[in-house]
Amino acid sequence: MKLDYTLPDEAAAQTGCQTLIDEPMKKHTTFQIGGPADRLYTAGNQRQLSGLLSALREGEIPFFLLGNGSDLLVADEGFRGAAVALSGEFGKAELLPGNRLRSGAGVPLARLCALAREQGLSGLEFAWGIPGSVGGAVYMNAGAYGGEMKDVVYRVLHMTPQGAVEEAEGEALSFSYRKSRYTGTGEIVLFAQVQLTPGSGAEISSKMEELMRRRKEKQPYDMPSAGSVFKRPQGGFAAALIEECGLKGASLGGAQVSPKHAGFIVNTGGASCSDVLGLIERIRETVLREKGIELECEVRVIR
């Protein structure tokens, strides 16, 4: 069925949202994989976003929120629907009283970490090098090296599926391992406040540099990927299980289990979505057969 984009195109034009037609998603994902989305709309403020989402829903157009594209795998055929990106006020971060930072959902997590360092605020060092936006990091409770977003996120401003703007904080954020209240609910993160603590700028920088050194040493930082492919299974690590099954370095088409870190699948050049999905399935089947453990994929597949 052919989708009618009259309503969202008109809403985008009236409110000043940027509209791109048949935009290749491989240009917007860290995997560098993916065919064209029918539309890529970019909203710069709450009024634009609310009007656009209302029109998309009224027109019954499927859509997804596009951050830095660091956890996305988009189908080779593309997406019959709209990708919605955030810019403008959603791309700004500022210092608040009480050692807090307020960030738009579209701010790269690395930029928020850098702002914390500049202000001599500690608590976000673990996130230095996580490739994603603040909105995406809150959505999935991103974490590394013993820290998670739940440790620092104080309050979140979000938009409900009905277009209302609400706040949530504390237990209402429902953070757990790689999940939050926003995971799969249709609520959209607009802004997040993080609560940090004063620290030594030199010590903060030193810790960030050390964690980045460890990342580059152990992870395929120089290859297109979507980060860690599988969630950590109960009582173990996905990368260790994959390596024990002899799959480190295994490949399918242009997709390869990284020889550097078995928890990553990398695009060695020209990998298709089908290559990656086929390799994921081979890994899951092998680990289940040989180890009796079912790995859960944490990469979002858009098709």
Distance, CA of 19 to CA of 13 (rounded, Å):
8
**Could you write out the DSSP letters of every residue in 29-52?**
STT----EEEEEEEE-SHHHHHHH
Which listed residue (274, 298, 300, 303) is catalytic?
Answer: 298
Active-site position among 39, 102, 117, 178: 178
Tokens of 298: 């944490």
Question: Residue 152: how many CA atoms within 13 Å on its side-chain side?
Answer: 31
d(CA 221, CA 1) in angstroms, rounded, equals 41
DSSP bridge partners of 18: 42
Residue 97 Cα to chain centre, angstroms: 28
What is the amino acid identity at position 209?
Answer: E
Helices and strands of the chain, counted as H and E runs: 7, 19
Q: Catalytic annotation on 178?
A: yes
- In the chain, the amino acid numbered 236 is G
Catalytic residue chosen out of the listed positions 228, 258, 272, 284: 228
DSSP letter for each residue of 206-241 = HHHHHHHHHHHHHS-TTS-EEEE-BPPPTTS-HHHH
298 flagged as catalytic: yes
**Within 13 Å, how many C-alpha atoms sit on residue 263's CB side?**
17
Tokens of 165: 């703007």
Active site residue 181: no
b/e burial code for range 279-294 (CB count within 10 A of at least 16 → b): bbeebbebbeeebeee
Give catalytic residue positions: 178, 228, 298
